[in-house]
């Protein structure tokens, strides 16, 4: 009987040790997951900011294109008036 109780106690000790190790691994993985989620959220915010900047720059480029095209048309009109006048 003592032999069985000793074996049971030893088995319980081994399982408790394994359970503690698994719990530590789970805690570590959960911590890594939280860090990854925070990093993804940060990258998502940076992406949104960059996308906003890109859209604004595209609008600004389009505005300059319109101004340049308008300026070229004005220049052509002035040259035409100078030659005709």
Q: Which residues of 35-62 are buried (b: 16+ CB within 10 A; e: fewer)?
A: eeeeeeeeeeeeeeeeeeeeeeeeeeee
Nearest to 8 by CA among 16, 18, 22, 20: 16
Q: Which helix (H) or strand (E) holds 85?
A: none
pLDDT of 62 strictly over 70: yes
Residues 6+ apart with CB under 8 A from 9: none
Q: Is the pTM of this model over 0.85?
A: no
Dump pLDDT digits (tens) for 7-30: 999 999 999 999 999 999 999 999
Cα–Cα dist 40/34, whole Å: 10
Residue whose tokens read 């939280």: 34
Residue 40: pLDDT band by 50, 70, 90 thresholds? very high
């Amino acid at each position: 009987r003592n032999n069985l109780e000793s074996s049971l106690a030893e088995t319980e000790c081994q399982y408790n040790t394994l359970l503690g190790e698994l719990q530590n691994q789970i805690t570590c993985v959960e911590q890594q997951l939280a860090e990854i989620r925070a990093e993804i959220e940060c990258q998502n915010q940076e992406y949104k900011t960059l996308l906003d900047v890109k859209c604004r720059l595209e609008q600004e480029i389009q505005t300059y294109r319109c101004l340049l095209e308008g300026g070229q048309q004005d220049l052509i009109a002035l040259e035409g008036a100078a030659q005709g006048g």
